[in-house]
Structure 1
Amino acid sequence: MKQSKLLIPTMRENPNDAEAKNLQLLLRAGFIRQVSGGVYAYLPLAMRVLKKMSKIIEEEFEKIGAVEIQMPTLLPLPLLEKSNLDDYDGKAYNLKDRNGKEFVLGSVYEGLISELIGDEISSYKRLPLTLFQTTTKYRNDKRSRLGLFRSHEFILSDAYSFHATTNSLNEMYQAYQKAFNRIFERLGVKVKSLLGDSQINGQTDVLEYMVLSESGDKIGCFSDESDYAADLQAATSAFTSKKSHEPHKEMSKVVFDECKTLAQAAEDLDIPLQKTIKIRFYIAGSQPVLVLVRADQKVNELKVKKMLQVQELKVADETQAEQYFNSPLDSIGPVGVSEDCKIYADLQVQDLANALTGGNEVNTYLKNVNPDDDFPIEQYADLRLVKEGDISPDNKGTLQLKKGIEVGRMIKVGTYFSERLKTAVLDENGQHIPIQMGYYELGISRLLAMVVEQNSEQKGINWPAEIAPFDLHIVQTNMDDENQTVLTNQVEEMMMEAGYQVLVDDRQERGGVKFADADLIGCPVRITVGNKADEGVVGIKFKQTQATIEVKQEELVSTLSILMSSES
């Protein structure tokens, strides 16, 4: 294909407003253009890469029995509400048609596909069934960032499997794990799998796929001595009780003349922060609950939801604080709380003696508070966010926190949607059973960005061979040299007959400009037709290793076959 016939608007310098590495390179190499913040146009080179990526995913999904579908972009709002999905709320583009009917611009499909299966399948004999689509989804974030990592619209492959039994779901879950690993290997991207958190149901198994990146917006926790890996929200750590043997003192009230935070009060009273109890007031479903952690720790709300087995956990507001405690929110304490409000505490709290906590009055704190003696604890559990240096839950090494980008996830959704949408099949005994579901997604545009970040250097992108926009980039250095033109055309024809995808730089540009653009674009091999064209000699350069060699025209196909095999 002639480069003069393609739209490849390369740039010499990074755009001023492009901070993410992937965005800088894709813009400079002429793969994409930004239409507005978080919205991008994919130009011809990007489309060739995206199609190859989608083809790889399609091939690997079909190997495990998945079949392709295409769901609509306009999703009826009532169906999402019936599915009880919080994910779309506040993050979707809502719109109405001319009749006033409300829709959401394609963001989540679990409920829609579940209802489709419930309408069309009535017997367990039709299961298992797994479907997938590759589509554009939309996210109404307050602002976009990190280039294609966090954009308002993004390309995604999402798959859904449906089963009559848990064993069947487990088998497909494992099959998708193997498929994902093959996909990442073929794409040439290094990905880590880790335990994740579910926005659908806190009780489900979740596996996330993260690519480590200092510009990432996710945090993963990794043991430095074992294979343990988990998203920060899902991570746990080993707990060893270090119960204080300090004699319990009499509880007393401390009133300050001015408003002070718990940390400030502890400092004024010369009490270590590790001996203070921080209170978080929530409405769990419809019930008020207090969650207690040491003041040097943070509450992990996902763990609280899992412990309480609730779908909704909201931070209480000032009105609710006055209603239940007759106290400002920042003065709430656990002593004297009504029985209607259950108290749950992190495991570390049970080790405390003579602690400091809120006093349920303005500017008031309680000293020498002892859990269980001075207030009842409904349950102790691991309710905190882990921290760097915590002991790994398998007691092998300590946890290291690393930033990354989530590029995929899979969830054992189970019967969450079938129970809410009343979808069931008849089992072998003629009894109605809810359908089990699994969900599997890969962010294609995110993976595109991450391939670029992991496979690039200052001069440009180094595309992995299987997804490169072209296999070979032929550069004719002088378009006015007839010998070069004849040899270029012959080499192009030879390479295409040999099965290579070829891009030919036929532009009236200086050789230096063409070489710089070739480096930016990043095809695996560059073939230079230059000063030795009259001798039938061309130069070969491998982008990844920068290795170069000169060969005769007649030896080009065989030499390239050998060298490309050794390079890969």
Structure 2
Amino acid sequence: IFDRLGLVYRAVRADSGSIGGSRSQEFQVIADTGEDLIVFCPDSEYAANIELAEAPCLIEKRAEATETMEKVPTPGRDKCELVVELLNKPLTASVKSIVLAVDQQDEKGNPLPAKIVLLLLRGDHTLNEIKAEKLEALKGGFRFATDKEIEDTFGSKPGYLGPVGIPKDVTIVADTTVANMSDFIVGANEEGYHIRGVNWGRDLREPDVVADIRNVVEGDVSPDGKGTLKMQRGIEVGHVFFLGDKYSAPMNATYLDENGKPQLLQMGCYGIGISRLLGAAIEQGHDDKGIIWPDSIAPFTVVICPVGYDKSEEVQKASNELYGRLREAGIDVILDDRGLRPGVMFADWELIGVPHRVTIGDRGLKNGEVEYAHRGDLQNENVPVSEIADKLIAKIKVR
């Protein structure tokens, strides 16, 4: 469908969301103004929504500790970028702490203190909440912990938090890269202080969970190992879901296979954003003069702009003949018979975005020619009158 629409798009791996199923793909029209971030590998077919793109571990093996753990004053430095600047270290040497809370209830539905989960990411990375919600410890739903919950658990305000010396009932989830770090910097759980030279096992317990919980960044190795990842923006216009037996199993919806045995139906579904397709096409195809429609969804595929249509019989005859020939060939054509000056006509049709324009005037007809221009480049080309219809018919795929 999107091939026929003439759009530049990518089919990318995506999260199935509430509809469920084991896998899905979004169809993203490539546009700088797109609301979604697409991750792809130019050297392979790998492509995914940022929410689902797999982030590789950037440290192959954890190195031995070379530094002594040291608590250092960092007054007013409540962000990783500010801390490493003070300590003259790269941002990649720091670890940020993100505190999540999972609300709990007793058997009677009365609220219990929330379960606290500490997520650890390298200082230059950001949390992927879609990946986080798939963790066993967070599957019941989570929220970001309140300042009071943080202070009650860690004894410090946000900005100076870290995993050293925290209560044992706090679940520590380390991103795969963080799990292999050594001699790193974390908050000291005391306002105005951080700790440098921290190492797993020696200075704090090993993480309870190691998982990919970060967003990929441009330059990461592609999960298929065939190159590095790049990013571009897209507008989602379609989504395909493989549902498997998620719905057929509860309904006991079966069919008889070739051996006469009942099997659960395997289900799938898709949706297309009809109205946003038009907006996506315009975002992808436009210039300072107006819209540049693909042939298949343009309001008209060809516009005939006769110069002096109301004054010249030759111009009127040639225009009408071309119009009739194109209509017979099944091409969606419009003839501008308003008798306007060329500049006004051109401006109108460039704004509307009709892909193919033929200009017919007395001067050209004296030489047996008309002018052809495509909306994409607007470079005029002189074409013999006898050949213009065949040229357009060959150029345009009639559907």
Bin of the TM-score, shorter chain as denominator length: 0.7 to 0.9
SS at match of 1:288: strand
**Cα–Cα, structure 1 residues 278 and 513, in superposed 2: closer, same or farther, change >3 Å?**
same
SS at match of 1:299: coil
Which residue in the other structure is 2:372 paired with?
541
SS at match of 2:117: strand
Which residue in the other structure is 1:517 paired with?
348
Q: Would the aligned equivalents of 1:262 and 1:358 in 2 still touch at CA under 8 Å?
A: no
CA shift at 1:292, angstroms?
A: 0.8
Read off the aligned partner of 2:155 and give its amino acid letter.
Answer: N
CA shift at 1:532, angstroms?
A: 7.0
Which residue in the other structure is 1:424 paired with?
251
Say if 2:158 is the partner of 1:324: no
Query: Residue 95 of structure 2: which of 260, 267, 277 is its match?
Result: 277
Which residue in the other structure is 2:332 paired with?
501
CA shift at 1:535, angstroms?
A: 8.4
- Partners of 2:19 and 2:97 lie apart in 1 by 25
Structure in which a larger fraction of residues adopt helix: 1
Which residue in the other structure is 2:65 paired with?
246
**Cα–Cα, structure 1 residues 201 and 332, in superposed 2: closer, same or farther, change >3 Å?**
farther
SS at match of 2:153: helix
**Cα–Cα, structure 1 residues 525 and 271, in superposed 2: closer, same or farther, change >3 Å?**
closer
Say if 2:392 is the partner of 1:392: no
| TM-score normalised according to structure 1 size | 0.57
Which residue in the other structure is 1:214 paired with?
32
Superimposed CA distance per residue, residues 110-147 of structure 1 (whole angstroms, 9 cap, x where no aligned partner):
xxxxxxxxxxxxxxxxxxxxxxxxxxxxxxxxxxxxxx
Query: Residue 232 of structure 1: which of 50, 54, 58 is its match?
Result: 50
Which residue in the other structure is 1:128 paired with?
none
Q: Would the aligned equivalents of 1:317 and 1:329 in 2 still touch at CA under 8 Å?
A: no
Which residue in the other structure is 1:106 paired with?
none
- Partners of 1:536 and 1:453 lie apart in 2 by 40
- Partners of 1:202 and 1:361 lie apart in 2 by 43
Query: Residue 361 of structure 2: which of 530, 547, 552 is its match?
Result: 530
Superimposed CA distance per residue, residues 10-44 of structure 1 (whole angstroms, 9 cap, x where no aligned partner):
xxxxxxxxxxxxxxxxxxxxxxxxxxxxxxxxxxx
Superimposed CA distance per residue, residues 165-211 of structure 1 (whole angstroms, 9 cap, x where no aligned partner):
xxxxxxxxxxxxxxxxxx12211111112222344378842312223
Which residue in the other structure is 1:126 paired with?
none
Superimposed CA distance per residue, residues 353-406 of structure 1 (whole angstroms, 9 cap, x where no aligned partner):
333212222223334332234224111122222222222222222222223333
CA shift at 1:454, angstroms?
A: 4.3
List runs of 5+ in structure 1 lacking aligned partners.
1-182
- Partners of 1:201 and 1:278 lie apart in 2 by 33
Which residue in the other structure is 1:161 paired with?
none
Which residue in the other structure is 1:288 paired with?
116
- Partners of 1:252 and 1:501 lie apart in 2 by 75
**Cα–Cα, structure 1 residues 226 and 361, in superposed 2: closer, same or farther, change >3 Å?**
same
Q: Would the aligned equivalents of 1:203 and 1:306 in 2 still touch at CA under 8 Å?
A: no
Q: Would the aligned equivalents of 2:322 and 2:389 in 1 still touch at CA under 8 Å?
A: no
Q: Would the aligned equivalents of 2:119 and 2:172 in 1 still touch at CA under 8 Å?
A: yes
- Partners of 2:122 and 2:303 lie apart in 1 by 61
Query: Which residues of 2 match residues 42-441 of structure 1 at below 5 A?
Result: 183-200=1-18, 204-239=22-57, 240-247=59-66, 249=68, 251-256=69-74, 258=76, 260-284=78-102, 286=104, 287-308=115-136, 310=139, 312-373=141-202, 374-413=204-243, 424-427=251-254, 438-441=268-271
Which residue in the other structure is 1:162 paired with?
none
Q: Would the aligned equivalents of 2:310 and 2:337 in 1 still touch at CA under 8 Å?
A: no
- Partners of 2:164 and 2:3 lie apart in 1 by 56
Superimposed CA distance per residue, residues 455-482 of structure 1 (whole angstroms, 9 cap, x where no aligned partner):
4555554433332322432333225426
- Which region of structure 1 is more displaced relative to structure 2, 225-234 or 262-271? 262-271
CA shift at 1:231, angstroms?
A: 2.0
Read off the aligned partner of 2:251 and give its amino acid letter.
Answer: A
SS at match of 1:329: coil
- Which region of structure 1 is more displaced relative to structure 2, 530-539 or 503-512? 530-539
Read off the aligned partner of 2:144 and give its amino acid letter.
Answer: V
Identity of aligned residues (%): 32
**Cα–Cα, structure 1 residues 513 and 315, in superposed 2: closer, same or farther, change >3 Å?**
same
- Partners of 1:258 and 1:515 lie apart in 2 by 61
Which residue in the other structure is 1:474 paired with?
304
**Cα–Cα, structure 1 residues 190 and 265, in superposed 2: closer, same or farther, change >3 Å?**
closer
- Partners of 1:223 and 1:491 lie apart in 2 by 47
SS at match of 2:133: helix
| TM-score normalised according to structure 2 size | 0.78
Q: Would the aligned equivalents of 2:325 and 2:389 in 1 still touch at CA under 8 Å?
A: no
Read off the aligned partner of 1:547 and give its amino acid letter.
Answer: E
SS at match of 2:159: helix
Q: Would the aligned equivalents of 1:291 and 1:345 in 2 still touch at CA under 8 Å?
A: yes
Q: Would the aligned equivalents of 1:202 and 1:302 in 2 still touch at CA under 8 Å?
A: no
**Cα–Cα, structure 1 residues 533 and 328, in superposed 2: closer, same or farther, change >3 Å?**
closer
Q: Would the aligned equivalents of 1:285 and 1:313 in 2 still touch at CA under 8 Å?
A: yes
**Cα–Cα, structure 1 residues 360 and 486, in superposed 2: closer, same or farther, change >3 Å?**
same
- Partners of 1:495 and 1:227 lie apart in 2 by 40
- Partners of 1:218 and 1:519 lie apart in 2 by 29
List runs of 5+ in structure 2 lacking aligned partners.
105-114, 257-262
- Partners of 1:365 and 1:210 lie apart in 2 by 43
SS at match of 1:395: coil
**Cα–Cα, structure 1 residues 320 and 438, in superposed 2: closer, same or farther, change >3 Å?**
farther
- Partners of 1:274 and 1:482 lie apart in 2 by 74
- Partners of 1:265 and 1:490 lie apart in 2 by 76
Read off the aligned partner of 1:291 and give its amino acid letter.
Answer: L
CA shift at 1:345, angstroms?
A: 0.4
**Cα–Cα, structure 1 residues 502 and 288, in superposed 2: closer, same or farther, change >3 Å?**
same
SS at match of 1:290: strand
Higher-Rg structure is 2
- Partners of 1:464 and 1:436 lie apart in 2 by 36
- Aligned CA-pair RMSD: 3.7
CA shift at 1:339, angstroms?
A: 3.3
Read off the aligned partner of 2:279 and give its amino acid letter.
Answer: A
Q: Would the aligned equivalents of 1:223 and 1:392 in 2 still touch at CA under 8 Å?
A: yes
SS at match of 1:549: strand
